[in-house]
Amino acid sequence: MLTSAVSDAAAKEFMSRIPSGRPGTPEEVANAAMFLIQNQYCNGTVLTLDGGFGATL
């Protein structure tokens, strides 16, 4: 997990700021990647997968 290099307290604090309340799963990332691969009309796009974190900044 990305948070394995930080303390448990810091990881918990960061996770508490994510509106979904949890980290993303590998399946969720794979689903987003497949969407971008399969949709020929979607190009030059950045798809943010952050559980809503960016919407709260």
Range of the domain at 33: 25-57
- pLDDT in the model for residue 13: 87
- Span 5-21, average pLDDT: 87
Name, in order, each residue with C-beta under 8 angstroms of 50's C-beta and a sequence gap of 6 or more.
Answer: 18, 24
Counted domains in the chain: 1
Domain assignment present for residue 5? The answer is no
Classify residue 15 by burial, with Cβ atoms within 10 Å: 0-12, 13-18, 19+.
Answer: middle
Give the model confidence (pLDDT) of 26-45 as tens digits. 999 999 999 999 998 988 88
pLDDT over 70, % of the chain:
93
Domain assignment present for residue 54? The answer is yes
Contact predicate 1/8, CB 8 Å: no
Domain assignment present for residue 39? The answer is yes
Domain assignment present for residue 18? The answer is no
- Span 7-27, average pLDDT: 88
Contact predicate 22/51, CB 8 Å: yes
Domain assignment present for residue 56? The answer is yes
- Span 3-20, average pLDDT: 85
- Span 7-32, average pLDDT: 90
